[in-house]
Amino acid sequence: MAAPRRVVPTLLLLLLLLVGGAVFVVMLGDSTTDSAPDTVAPPETQASVESGNQRASVRRGPTRERVGTGTLATDLETAGVPGEPEQERADVLTPNAPTRSIRVRVVRSDGGPVRDAHVAAFAVFTRTPTVGANATTGVDGTATLDVSKLAQFRVRAWTQSAAGISGMQSIDGGESGEATIRLEPGRAVTGTVTSRDGGPVPGAEVEISLATDDAFGLRVRATTDRDGAFDLGMLPKEGLQQVDTTIRASAAQHATLSAFFSEFADDSELRLELERGQTVSGRFVNTAGAPVAEVNVWGPGHSAKSSADGTFELSGVPWTGETMLMRSASHAMPAPVALPAEVGEIDLGDIVLEDGVEITGFVFDAEGKPVSGAQVNVLQPEWSQIVANTQTNDRGEFVALHVGEGEYTLTASGVIGGWTSSLSTTVPGIAAGATGVRIVLSGGRSLLITFRNEADRAQITVASAEVDVWRTGVVTERRAQAWAGASIQTVRIPFTEAGTYSVEIKLPGYELATMDNVEIFDDRETRIDALLRAAAE
């Protein structure tokens, strides 16, 4: 009977050990679930970031709703990035920066929506147009473009057979706008660029300057592929037929081609033939014979800059006896070089640059007050080239550096009371090295136009304006001038000669206005109100 008594304590001890082991396992499992420092996230939640020269794995844990004033947030667990700052993980909580966008509606001639039309935004005030994001319209004929990088722009829309262009668009920061584009018959502008020998020219730039309802137009560009082919897409046929629509092609080692688009046959692929141009080389040195770097060189359609050893090469210059211009920031501008009318390589040898001297002076307004920020240009009359330019300081003082020997014409313009009140003055016969030159800005030989609504005489505010002026009773070319800004209510036009002029004004959204017999005087400014009538929608 003694043996069974010893069995009972033994069984009780084993039972206690089993229960305790189970509790320990449960506690260990709960602890592992909460922290899991070495648990690998599922593949769909993994990402990677670059931090300096190290690449680190980032594991994104489950999304949880935080209680309180917060909103939904994502917990990030970062491993393998020693010393990574806390702000590296804050991007998921940072709101997006404000963007500017435009909702574009593309319609047919009958007003119905156009699905699957391509739309793109183009900047208008740059020599090289900036292109915004592209989009495609949905079933309702609309698409939204992000135009955060564009100030003033147009929107282009096209399909396989039609195209259209919007008017000038401008959107303030963080806002959105709308535009409707009505498609019209289009023409696909495609073709090839070849040399005179018939070989393709890859990498050539082809640009169409399409006329619009203002002076700025729309430039569409493309680059040829290795076979010399290019595709500018579908453009409005009516716009391409305008007399002032041009096409331009340029490439290294070739002379630039520029022609009116109307010279080409309708609905056919274009073949643009480029002539091989001259290759002009040389070396810039100072009076001590040392090389001069960073000298800008211009030939028709092409430019170059001298290297550290002073050498340059300008390729593709037309061989028809053109002129080459040169400009150095630290030397006087040399006389333009007339290139010989021959094909081939031309070595100009060493071109010696002089240091030049200064021209100093002051710019005042009509009341004798100094004008700060006035632009002063030094013009070489014989070459019709600006050889130096500068601005006045707070005392109205200017210093034009590196002016070569000879006499020059100084032109000065300044802003008085707003950018639309720019006044200018021309002073001829100023010798290089002159000091204390006094320039007085005047309102003489200028026209100040204030835009007003014909109905109530209230001032009109616009984002762009185009003004044509021409002499009355004198055979002369019309001179077009264009302005652009956030808000324009007046424009000032300088004149080189007094007399009687006709003025034509084009404002977006208003009918064309013409004023005849406008007198321009030598000694005072002419001020007129332009009464404009809103255009019918």
| pLDDT recorded at residue 126 | 62
In a 10 Å sphere around its CB, with 0-12 CB exposed, 13-18 middle and 19+ buried, how is residue 505 labelled? Answer: buried
Q: Give the confidence band of 32 by pLDDT, cuts at 50, 70, 90.
A: very low
Q: Does 361 lie in the same domain as 348?
A: no
Of residues 125 and 424, more confidence is placed in 424
Q: Which of 267, 252, 113 is nearest to 185 (CA)?
A: 267
Q: Does 369 lie in the same domain as 392?
A: yes
Q: Does 192 lie in the same domain as 158?
A: no
407 part of a folded domain? yes
Rounded average pLDDT over 4-8? 46
Q: Distance (Å, rounded) from C-alpha 61 to C-alpha 37?
A: 11
In a 10 Å sphere around its CB, with 0-12 CB exposed, 13-18 middle and 19+ buried, how is residue 295 labelled? Answer: buried
Last residue of a domain, one of 353, 386, 407: 353
What CATH number does residue 119 fall under? 2.60.40.1120
| pLDDT recorded at residue 319 | 72
Helix H or strand E encompassing 237: helix 237-240
Q: Distance (Å, rounded) from C-alpha 258 to C-alpha 205?
A: 12
In a 10 Å sphere around its CB, with 0-12 CB exposed, 13-18 middle and 19+ buried, how is residue 265 labelled? Answer: exposed
Q: Does 205 lie in the same domain as 176?
A: no
| pLDDT recorded at residue 130 | 58
- The pLDDT > 70 percentage for the chain reads 77
Q: Does 471 lie in the same domain as 493?
A: yes
Rounded average pLDDT over 209-225? 82
pLDDT digits (tens, 9 = 90+) for 255-284: 888 899 988 877 678 999 998 888 899 999
251 part of a folded domain? yes
Given a cut of 70, whether residue 530 has pLDDT beyond it is yes
Q: Distance (Å, rounded) from C-alpha 487 to C-alpha 484?
A: 8
Distance of CA 227 to the CA centre of its chain: 29
Q: Does 409 lie in the same domain as 458?
A: no
Q: Distance (Å, rounded) from C-alpha 339 to C-alpha 312?
A: 15
Among 87-96, 466-475, 515-524, which is the least confidently predicted range?
87-96
318 is written with which tokens?
């037309």
Among 67-71, 165-169, 216-220, 467-471, which is the least confidently predicted range?
67-71
307 part of a folded domain? yes
Given a cut of 50, whether residue 22 has pLDDT beyond it is no
Number of domains, the chain: 5
Distance of CA 45 to the CA centre of its chain: 40
- Can you say whether the dihedral through the CA atoms of 179, 180, 182, 188 is positive or negative? positive
Q: Does 475 lie in the same domain as 500?
A: yes
| pLDDT recorded at residue 55 | 30
SS3 106: strand
Q: Distance (Å, rounded) from C-alpha 107 to C-alpha 115?
A: 9
54 part of a folded domain? no
514 part of a folded domain? yes
Q: Give the confidence band of 454 by pLDDT, cuts at 50, 70, 90.
A: very high
pLDDT digits (tens, 9 = 90+) for 330-374: 999 999 998 887 777 889 999 999 999 999 999 998 778 899 999
Q: How far is the CA of 413 from the CAs of 221, 374, 401, 423, in angstroms?
A: 35, 6, 18, 5
| pLDDT recorded at residue 211 | 77
Among 296-300, 413-417, 445-449, 515-519, which is the least confidently predicted range?
413-417
Rounded average pLDDT over 506-530? 89
Of residues 374 and 28, more confidence is placed in 374
Asked whether the beta carbons of 400 and 378 are under 8 A apart, the reply is yes
To the nearest whole number, what is the mean pLDDT of the chain? 79
67 part of a folded domain? no
SS3 24: helix
Asked whether the beta carbons of 109 and 182 are under 8 A apart, the reply is yes
Domain enclosing residue 363, as ranges: 357-440
Q: Does 314 lie in the same domain as 333?
A: yes
308 part of a folded domain? yes
pLDDT digits (tens, 9 = 90+) for 109-155: 999 999 999 999 888 766 555 566 689 999 999 999 988 888 788 89
Q: Does 129 lie in the same domain as 175?
A: yes
| pLDDT recorded at residue 133 | 65
Q: Does 189 lie in the same domain as 268?
A: yes
| pLDDT recorded at residue 244 | 83
What CATH number does residue 266 fall under? 2.60.130.10
pLDDT digits (tens, 9 = 90+) for 486-498: 788 888 887 878 8
157 part of a folded domain? yes
409 is written with which tokens?
């014409």
- Can you say whether the dihedral through the CA atoms of 339, 343, 349, 353 is positive or negative? positive
Helix H or strand E encompassing 307: none
Q: How many CA atoms lie within 13 A of 54 on its CB side?
A: 10
Of residues 230 and 86, more confidence is placed in 230
| pLDDT recorded at residue 162 | 95
Last residue of a domain, one of 230, 256, 274: 274
Q: Which of 314-318, 322-326, 416-420 has the highest mean pLDDT?
A: 322-326
Last residue of a domain, one of 289, 324, 353: 353
What CATH number does residue 427 fall under? 2.60.40.10
| pLDDT recorded at residue 51 | 27
Of residues 483 and 94, more confidence is placed in 483
- Terminus-to-terminus CA distance in the chain, angstroms? 117
| pLDDT recorded at residue 283 | 97
Q: Does 429 lie in the same domain as 462?
A: no
| pLDDT recorded at residue 264 | 84
Q: Does 157 lie in the same domain as 196?
A: no
| pLDDT recorded at residue 174 | 67
| pLDDT recorded at residue 53 | 30
Q: What are phi and psi of 198, to 5 degrees?
A: 95, -10
SS3 30: helix
Buried b (16+ CB within 10 A) or exposed e, 184-223: eebbbbbbbbbbeeeeebeebbbbbbbbbebbbbbbbbbe
